[in-house]
Amino acid sequence: MPPSFAGRWTPFWLSLPMLLIVALFFYIPVYLSFWWSFTLERPFGGGSEFVGFQNYARVLSDPIFWDAAWRTLVFMVFGSTLAIIVPLILALAADRMVPLSNTARNVLIWPKGIAGASIGVVFAFIFNPFVGIMAPLNGLFPGLWNPGSDGTDAFIMLLIAHVWNGIPFNFVILLAGLQAVPRSLTQAAAIDGASPWRRIRDVQLPMIAPQLFLTFVLEFTESVVSAFALIDTMTQGGPGGATRLLVYKIYQDGFKGYDLSGAATQSAILMVFVLCLAAFQFLYLEKKVRYER
């Protein structure tokens, strides 16, 4: 039976604190961002001036914006894809009960309790070219790894940290999906002579399509903003802007350059892009997902 409440307004009062938090920290900032994108905001107060689409014309004609946008797209594709594939491999291994899989199930969720800024500090030390894990190779091949001066190395380091940060949540979701697959199906496939890879491809992966779709949507929509803490603690957008994603450019323009209108315009463009991406995923990709088993 559906839950019942003593008073008609009880459900509203119970949900009111969360509604206020969402409105205060999400809907109001979103509204202000869109409004500021049509105005010229003075950095230290004193009023604003409505300028229409001038901010959009200025931002869209800026090559630095397009450079950051392209780099953000590359990061989304590679970072999000790896952040799904790696946990999927680990979940398949844990589901097959390989040695130490029970220990790994506990260890692999630990990173979820670590803040992104802390992860950035740790990985910046791990991949330090002089004292990190790459130091021996740099001793043999000087200059082989130096994220402080090489943009490609810095971008790779950022990708690795992002993937490591995304393992816990995706691992739990995918492992739960795999364990919900009836063992009778995989056993029947094994009796029919299907190889382990064939059982994964034809039985398990189609059965966990809803979990894969969930991780796919969350990773691709969240990766545009979740990398901020990593960038701020690892590279600060450098070297030479090689790791300056759009979310970090918005921060630099708004809080360091005091270009509030330009930062709000870029935020609005980023929000529209994320909404379009999510709409495409739900309108096109979800049609290929079957929730019945």
- Domain range annotation of the chain: 63-288
CATH 1.10.3720.10 is the classification of domain 63-288:
yes
- CB-count burial class (<10 Å; 0-12, 13-18, 19+) for 80: buried
Residue 132 has pLDDT above 80, yes or no: yes
What is the pLDDT at residue 139? 82
Return all residues near 148 (Cβ < 8 A) that are at least 6 apart.
129, 154, 239
Helices (H), the chain: 10-22, 28-36, 54-60, 63-95, 101-107, 116-126, 135-140, 151-179, 183-191, 196-199, 205-207, 209-226, 228-234, 246-251, 260-280
Question: Each residue of 242-291: pLDDT tens digit?
Answer: 999 999 999 999 988 889 899 999 999 999 988 888 888 888 777 766 66
Q: How many CA atoms lie within 13 A of 105 on its CB side?
A: 17
What is the pLDDT at residue 65? 94
Angular region, 258: left φ>0, alpha ψ -120 to 50, beta rest: left
Phi, psi of 49 (to 5 degrees): -130, 130
Percentage above 70 pLDDT, the chain: 95
Question: What is the 8-class DSSP label of residue 285?
Answer: I
What is the pLDDT at residue 156? 93
Question: Each residue of 204-238: pLDDT tens digit?
Answer: 888 888 888 889 888 888 888 888 989 999 999 98
DSSP line for 5-45: -SSTTHHHHHHHHHHHHHIIIIIHHHHHHHHHTTEEE-TT-
Q: Residue 240 in 3-state DSSP?
A: coil
**pLDDT top residue among 248 and 42:** 248
Residue 85 has pLDDT above 90, yes or no: yes
Residue 111 has pLDDT above 80, yes or no: no
